[in-house]
């Protein structure tokens, strides 16, 4: 039985993660955390997801919650909150599943350093379908090479605060790597005005923020006379949450290190 703590538990994704844990017969929820001052602190976690009382209250201190013997913390919060949680988990030796996006390079380095002491699975997207999309994009880039223009289009709900999405950037990184390019040097974030003819060596990104879109991602490989589109559309956050719980189970048998969902699914080196 995997004993799990959820951070950011009162948010949209936090509540979905709670449901995913409660629906998994091999997982048990042992704690839930929210930021200090949140209006729901002290509430029974069952009320957050419309269930009967669970006997677990929403708390502000991750350190005190971890004293319940948690095996894994699942963290889909904000970069600053995630960094604080990493420090606490590293100190007590608790594994982490991290789905927070928008980490800076310096923040990413903190995560990498912590993985020397604890097992961490970090990914911009824990959906099984999205991770298969990453693998398909990798294979397509390898086969098509420089014969195509590559564009990545993503759409999310109006509340998402980072752009492009972490998943879109991951798709760009996979494609750039297969094409022998540095994404930071070849990326184009949107276009406006007289841009001139497109440079085939670039990888373009287009971002949409509207309504309640859960998450759509398309990688477009366009040549003269044909185009290939690899698309994933999410209709529920439960896809991400279920994948995160799957990663939590997988981490139990792993030594300290930094892993991603491709490791969890055994996709690295496949195809």
Tens digit of each residue's pLDDT (9 = 90 or more) over 18-75: 999 999 999 999 999 999 999 999 999 999 999 999 999 999 999 999 988 899 999 9
Q: Supply angle C-alpha 25, 30, 31, rounded to 5.
A: 130
Instruction: Tell me the pLDDT tens digit for each residue of 192-227.
Output: 999 999 999 999 999 999 999 999 999 999 999 999
Residues above pLDDT 70, as percent of the chain = 99
C-alpha–C-alpha distance, residues 204 and 198, integer Å: 10
Cis preceding linkage at 45, omega within 30 = no
Tokens of 19: 């449901």
CATH among 1.10.287.3510, 3.30.390.50, 3.30.360.10, 3.40.718.10 for 128-234? 3.30.360.10
Instruction: Tell me the pLDDT tens digit for each residue of 5-31.
Output: 999 999 999 999 999 999 999 999 999
What are the angstrom distances between the C-alpha of 19 and each of 63, 121, 125, 128? Answer: 23, 20, 18, 18
**Does 156 qualify as catalytic in the annotation?**
yes
- Given 85, 157, 159, 160, which residue is catalytic? 160
pLDDT at 121 over 80: yes
CATH among 3.90.550.10, 3.40.50.720, 3.90.320.10, 1.10.8.60 for 2-122+237-265? 3.40.50.720
How many other C-beta atoms lie within 10 A of the C-beta of residue 262? 19
- Given 38, 85, 156, 217, which residue is catalytic? 156
| Sequence ranges of the domains in the chain | 2-122+237-265, 128-234
Q: Which residues on neighbouring strands pair with residue 121, listed in sequence order?
A: 97, 259
H-type helices in the chain, by residue range?
12-23, 45-48, 62-66, 79-92, 105-114, 128-144, 166-178, 183-186, 238-251, 261-265
pLDDT at 270 over 80: no
**Does 38 qualify as catalytic in the annotation?**
no
């Amino acid at each position: 039985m995997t004993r799990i703590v959820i951070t950011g538990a009162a948010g949209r994704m936090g509540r979905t993660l709670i449901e995913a844990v409660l629906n998994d017969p091999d997982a048990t929820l042992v704690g839930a955390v929210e930021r200090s001052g949140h209006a729901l602190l002290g509430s029974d976690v069952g009320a957050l997801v419309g269930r009967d009382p669970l006997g677990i209250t929403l708390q502000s201190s991750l350190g005190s919650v971890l004293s319940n013997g948690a095996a894994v913390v699942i963290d889909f919060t904000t970069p600053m909150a995630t960094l604080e949680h990493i420090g606490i988990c590293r100190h007590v030796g608790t594994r982490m599943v991290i789905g927070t996006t928008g980490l800076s390079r310096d923040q990413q380095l903190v995560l990498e350093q912590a993985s020397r002491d604890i097992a961490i699975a970090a990914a911009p997207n824990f959906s099984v379908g999205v991770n298969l999309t990453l693998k398909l994009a990798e294979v397509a880039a390898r086969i098509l090479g420089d014969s195509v223009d590559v564009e990545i289009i993503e759409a999310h709900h109006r509340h998402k605060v980072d752009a492009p999405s972490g998943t879109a950037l991951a798709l760009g990184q996979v494609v750039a790597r297969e094409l022998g390019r540095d994404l930071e040097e070849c990326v184009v974030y949107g276009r406006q005005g007289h841009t001139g003819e497109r440079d085939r060596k670039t990888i373009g990104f287009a971002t949409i923020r509207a309504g309640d879109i859960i998450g759509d991602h398309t990688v477009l490989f366009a040549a003269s006379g044909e185009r290939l589109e690899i698309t994933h559309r999410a209709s529920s956050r439960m896809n991400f949450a279920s994948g995160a719980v799957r990663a939590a189970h997988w981490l139990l048998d792993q030594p300290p290190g930094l892993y991603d969902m491709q490791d969890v699914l055994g996709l690295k080196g496949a195809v």
